[in-house]
Amino acid sequence: MRLVPECNEGKIQFYQCRLAPWAEHAAELGTSEAQIAALAGKTEEAKQAVRAALAARNTARAATQRMNRLIEEMETAGANVVKQIRATAATDGDGVYALALIPAPEKPSPLGALGKPKDFTVELDAMGWLTLRWKCKNPRAAVGTVYQVSRRIGTGGKFQVIGTVGERKFIDTTVPPGSGEVEYQVQAVRSTSVGPRARYQVPLGSQTGTGALAMAFNPNGKGKAALIAA
């Protein structure tokens, strides 16, 4: 078992509690009053040093807290000024950044063009619904890309947007009964760019009409549709 405590306060208390009896019985204990008096002086100095160190730590803690608060206030005020500089540069040009001695923001690298849908396949079920699937190679970072699907019945008239999907699949549940040919237009779209349109003809029956149609199928059939140059 340790005789003298490890902590500073415990060491001081240990000697303070024994100074009086040690001084009174110095000779009997094999020491001297002078040595005990010297120990008492050093004990008092140690006690004052511990108090001073504690006060210094409290002062340093308060100073550190004040420093952190003032730095935070400085950063907030500075960030507001930088925002004002950037807002001014947005209308007056990058020369504002040189005047402010701060670098102009880096221009984002071009993401790359969105792909053109290809390998268009269709599946007709007994309900007359068409499930459309396609492939499309887009830049890896092109998150948020959706596909706009338009349709027209036959080969004339205007395309009408019938849906927008976030996957390479669309189910057309509104094909008019008795339609012989349906033409679809699919295009990849992001908030800042659009890809090239891809147009496909889908024959719905046994008659293919012109030779431009790639295939014809009966209900519950699957197949590929003919790509038409956009």
Q: DSSP string of the chain?
A: --SS-SSHHHHHHHHHHHHHHHHHTTTTTT--HHHHHHHHHHHHHHHHHHHHHHHHHHHHHHHHHHHHHHHHHHHHHHHHHHHHHHHHHHHH-THHHHHHTSPPPPPPPP--PPPPPEEEEEEE-TTS-EEEEEE----TT-TT-EEEEEEEESSSS--EEEEEESSSEEEE--PPTT-SEEEEEEEEE-SS-B---EEEEEEBSS---STT----B-TT-EEEPEEE--
pTM for the model: 0.48
Rounded average pLDDT per 10-residue block, the chain, 230 residues:
90 94 94 95 95 94 95 94 90 91 82 90 86 93 89 87 94 87 92 88 58 35 51
- Say what the pLDDT of residue 209 is: 35
**Cβ neighbourhood burial of 143 (10 Å; 0-12, 13-18, 19+):** exposed
Amino acid at 39: L
- Say what the pLDDT of residue 215 is: 36
Cα–Cα distance measured from residue 17 to residue 5, given in angstroms and rounded to the nearest whole number:
13
Name the β-bridge partners of 223.
122
- Say what the pLDDT of residue 178 is: 79
CB of 22 closer than 8 Å to CB of 31:
yes
- Say what the pLDDT of residue 210 is: 31
Ordered strands of the 181-189 beta sheet:
160-165, 146-153, 181-189, 198-203, 226-228
CB of 155 closer than 8 Å to CB of 201:
yes
Q: Where are the domains of the chain?
A: 8-92, 118-228
Instruction: Give the domain 118-228 fold.
Output: Immunoglobulin-like (2.60.40)
Cα–Cα distance measured from residue 33 to residue 20, given in angstroms and rounded to the nearest whole number:
10
- Say what the pLDDT of residue 38 is: 96
Cα–Cα distance measured from residue 70 to residue 113, given in angstroms and rounded to the nearest whole number:
48
- Say what the pLDDT of residue 71 is: 95
